[in-house]
Amino acid sequence: MTRRLLGSEHAAGWLFVLPAVVLIGVFGIIPIGWALLLSFQHNDLLTAPTWVGAANYRELVHDPVFRDSIRRTIIYTLLFVPLSVGGALGVALFLYRPIRLSRFYRTAVFVPVATSTVATGIIFNWLLDPTYGIANFLLGKVGLGPYGFFQDPDQALYAIVAMTVWGWLGFDVIIYLAALQGIPQDLLEAAELDNAGRWGTFRHVILPLLSPATLFLIVWSTINALQVFDEIYVTTRGGPLHATTVLVYYLYNQAFELFHAGYAAAVAEVLFAITLVFSIAQLWIGNRRVHYTS
Amino acid sequence: MPLAAVMLLPLVWMLVTSVETLAESRHFPPTIVPSGIHWENYPNALDSAPFGRFFANSLVVTLASVAGNLVFCSLAGYAFARLRFFGRDVIFIVLLATLMVPFQVTMIPTFLIVQHLGLVNSLGALIAPNLVTPFGIFLLRQFFRTLPVDLEEAARIDGCSRLGVLFRVVLPLSMPALATLGIVTFLWTWNDFLWPLIAISSTDQSTVQLGLASFQGAHQTRWTLLMAGNVVALAPMLLVFVFAQRWFVQSIAATGVKG
């Protein structure tokens, strides 16, 4: 009896997970191993691949566009992460207090979250148009510009940062607001009784209690920043003069425009390594500084 | 207030431009208040790209992905949460480990696999890899584990099958988690761009995002037409979002995923 029951539980368990295991196996697990194999091949996505050993990686080391794409990806990440996470913290602290029109403000901040990256790119192409765009008009009012934005190699990457911070801010604010709602009111009242002051309360009560959310947002934003692609494809296509060719753009360009799939797979492995190193380092440093409440 | 202005300016300016004349849009300083409301940009935009087709394609792909995730993640999540079977923990860890590998790293072989399956340039290429996600399995498993096991045991003793327990007892109690998974999958699939860009090559198989990108490519600087098309493409998602904001926000806060 026990054996039969156990047996049926094994069978039921396997039947339940079977669709997931097959689908994730085919589209999730096999590609991981295959991606590594590909990086040692010459592959044009059509004809039979050939083995080239470590040639792709050797070529990468001497490829100036690749090296610059890593540099640009890291510059982008180092700007995007603090601006979006730090900005969101400020916005969340402002929206957290009951203020007039707070529902309207929240909607204004959240709406870009539902705006697709493609639509965002097209809108910013227009806002940042050097000749007719409203950005140059408004900045001109305060005595700045005019700027070339996406069309100026020295500004394009920063324009991408501004656009993507706009698109992502609301997401970070949502996470921060949820974390702020979790702060027990009596802790804030205790701080007030101790005359901690607004800065003291923020520095010694709120900030430590938000630290798990901050760590999550830093890790998650970094992963996403290292993978930025859509907004660049829609606006600058990696230009002008490669000024916005980040890692994933280069990967896409090599694999699906130039059909150097093996070479692109080597780029992908480097992306994977960089992502892992960043995530592990952040979690390692972060976990020693994060304050978890039980 | 300045903050709300900065956040809303891009969308408001899109709306304003979408009802201007082409001459008004090609003027500096910009025409803040258009001479009249020029609705004709909208029919013009709808005539110059098959938006209806794009919406139908996106809807098919999104609904199939949402349905697939709800069914397959429920089945697997329940098995991982409640059933004891050979290899369970190993499989679970392997599935979770795939979450650590970014899609961009595996997209080339995924394309080759889809090519082998003969799915390239069909909606199947967009649906098949998204029918089930390790993330969804993990989310539901965690939720199922918080439910009291007594109810399920009682149902079993009353002669209910395991599938019956899942569908008649567990899932009705799991509506918040299922709603979260459904909303997040919806947002993610609807706004996905990179994979459709790789897997689809023809206009009649394009999703809204893909169609929008090629619409821009075809009408470079006709900003009035482009903004009208953009409004058309964005409106349904933004309306759903604004009206169901609470659910969207809760789902995002619960899962930490943005499309």
Question: What are the two backbone dihedrals, phi and then psi, of residue A51, each rounded to the nearest 5 degrees?
Answer: -80, 135
Instruction: Using the CB atoms, write b or e for B28-43: b if 16+ within 10 Å.
Output: eebbeebeeebeebbe
Report the residue from A122, A134, A272 with minimal CB separation from B216: A122
For the record, the structure tokens of B204 come out as: 């009649």
A104-119 average pLDDT score: 92
Backbone torsion region of residue A51, taken as left when φ is above 0, otherwise alpha when ψ lies between -120 and 50, otherwise beta: beta
Positive or negative, the CA dihedral A206, A211, A212, A213 is: positive
Binary contact (B25, A174; C-beta < 8 A): no
Out of A198-202, B176-180, B190-194, B229-233, pick the least confident.
A198-202
Residue B258 pLDDT: 57
Taking the C-alpha atoms of residue B4 and residue B18, their distance in angstroms, rounded to an integer, is 21
Two tokens at A191?
Answer: 């701080």
3-state secondary structure of B29: coil
Residue A149's region, left for phi above 0, alpha for psi from -120 to 50, else beta, is left
User: A1: pLDDT confidence band, cut at 50, 70 and 90?
Assistant: very low
Interchain proximity A45–B9, CB inside 8 Å: no
CB of A170 closer than 8 Å to CB of A109: yes
Q: Report the CATH fold assignment for A63-289.
A: MetI-like fold (1.10.3720)
Q: Is A71 buried (19+), middle (13-18) or exposed (0-12) by CB count in 10 A?
A: exposed
**Does residue A291 surpass a pLDDT of 90?**
no
- Domain ranges within chain A, ordered by starting residue: 2-38, 63-289
Kindly list the residues from chain B whose CB atom is less than 8 angstroms away from the CB atom of residue A12: 79, 83, 85, 162
Question: From the CA atom positions of chain A, what is the Rg in Å?
Answer: 24
- Residue A149 and residue A156 in contact, taking contact as beta carbons nearer than 8 Å: yes
- Assess contact for B137 and B76: CB atoms under 8 A: yes
CB-based contact A215:A285 (threshold 8 Å): no
| Residue B259 binned pLDDT confidence (cut-offs 50, 70, 90) | very low
| CB contacts, 8 Å: B8 with chain A | 108, 111
Identify which of A24, A264, A275 has the shortest CB distance to residue B132: A24
Q: Which amino acid is at B211?
A: G
Distance from CA of A27 to the nearest CA of B (A): 6
* Rounded distance between C-alpha atoms, residue A232 and residue A160, angstroms: 7
Task: Indicate the residue of A16, A111, A117 with minimum beta-carbon distance to B75.
Answer: A16
Residue B107 main-chain phi, psi, to 5 deg: -70, -30
Nearest to B7 among A24, A108, A178 (CB): A108
B157: amino acid identity, one letter:
I
Average pLDDT in the B217-222 region?
86
Q: B215 pLDDT exceeds 50? A: yes
First to last CA, chain B: 27
Cβ–Cβ of A166/B233 closer than 8 Å? no
Residues in chain A within 8 Å Cβ distance of B28: 131-132, 137
Q: Can you tell me the mean pLDDT for B150-162?
A: 89
What CA–CA distance (Å, rounded) separates B106 from B117? 17
Contact B207, A230 (CB under 8 A): no
DSSP string across B80-121? HHH---TTHHHHHHHHHHGGGS-HHHHHHHHHHHHHHTT-TT
User: Kind and range of the H or E element at A42?
Assistant: strand A41-42
Whether the per-residue pLDDT at A120 is higher than 50: the answer is yes
User: With the CA atoms of B204, B210, B215 and B218 taken in that order, what torsion angle do they form, in degrees rounded to the nearest 10?
Assistant: -90
**How does the average pLDDT of chain B come out, rounded?**
91
In degrees, rounded to 5, the angle at the alpha carbon of residue A250 between the alpha carbons of residues A244 and A251 is: 145
Q: How confident is the model at residue A293 (pLDDT cuts 50, 70, 90)?
A: low
Q: What is the pLDDT of residues A185-232, one digit of tens each?
A: 888 888 878 877 888 888 888 899 899 899 999 999 999 999 999 999
Please judge whether B11 and A178 are an interchain contact, meaning their C-beta atoms are less than 8 angstroms apart.
Answer: no
Å from B151 to nearest chain A CA? 18
Among partner residues B27, B102, B104, which is closest to A132 by beta-carbon distance?
B27
Q: Are B46 and B232 in contact, with CB atoms under 8 Å apart?
A: yes
Which residues in chain A touch residue B251, judged by CB atoms under 8 angstroms apart? none
Span A223-275, pLDDT tens digits: 999 999 999 999 999 989 999 999 999 999 999 999 999 999 999 999 999 99
3-state helix, strand, coil in chain B (%, to 5): 75, 0, 25
CA distances from B107 to A67, A261, B199 (A): 22, 10, 10
| d(C-alpha A47, C-alpha B242), whole Å | 49
* Residue A42: strand pairing partners: A50
pLDDT at B73: 97
Three-class DSSP category at A46: coil
Q: How many CB atoms lie within 10 A of CB B2?
A: 6
Confidence bin at B21 (pLDDT 50/70/90): confident
Per-residue confidence band for B212, with pLDDT thresholds at 50, 70 and 90: very high
Q: Is the pLDDT of residue A138 over 70?
A: yes
- Phi-psi map region of A290: left, alpha, beta (phi>0 left; psi -120 to 50 alpha): beta
Of B17, B115, B230, the CB nearest to A119: B230
Residue B234 sits in a domain whose CATH number is 1.10.3720.10
d(CA B83, CA B100): 26
| A168 Cβ contact partners less than 8 Å away, ≥ 6 residues apart | A80, A84, A112, A113, A221, A224, B258
Q: What percent of chain B has pLDDT over 70?
A: 99
Number of domains in chain B: 1
What pLDDT is recorded for position B124? 96
pLDDT of residue B107: 96
What pLDDT sits at residue B242? 87
Phi, psi angles (nearest 5°) of residue B35:
-65, -30
Residues of chain A found within 8 Å of residue B54, distances taken between Cβ atoms: none
Residues shown for chain A: 294
The residue of chain B with its CA nearest to that of A256 is B198
A150 near A237, Cβ under 8 Å?
no
Contacts of B102 in chain A (CB under 8 A): 223, 226-227, 271-272, 275
- In a domain, residue B71? The reply is yes
Residue B112 with chain A: CB contacts under 8 Å: 34, 45, 261
Judged by CB atoms closer than 8 Å, whether chains meet at A120 and B10 is answered as yes
10 Å CB burial of residue A96 (0-12, 13-18, 19+) is middle
Domain that holds residue B171: 39-255
Contacts of B133 (CB under 8 A, 6+ apart): A24, B69, B73, B185
Q: Which of B17, B111, B258 would best serve as a mutation to test chain A binding (most A beta carbons within 10 A)?
A: B258
Residue B73 lies in a domain: yes
Q: Which of A61-75, A231-245, B21-35 has the lowest mean pLDDT?
A: B21-35
Coil, helix or strand for A26?
Answer: helix
CA B101 to chain centre: 20
Task: Report the distance separating Cα B137 and Cα B121, nearest Å.
Answer: 28
CB contact (8 A) between residue A28 and residue B83: no
CB-based burial, A252-274: b 16+ in 10 Å, e otherwise = bbbbbeeebbbbbbbbbbbbbeb
Mean pLDDT across B110-129: 96
> For residue B240, what is the nearest residue in chain A, using CA coordinates?
A114
Taking Cα atoms as reference points, which of B212, B206, B209, B218 lies closest to residue B121?
Answer: B206
How would residue A14 be classed by pLDDT, with cut points 50, 70 and 90?
very high
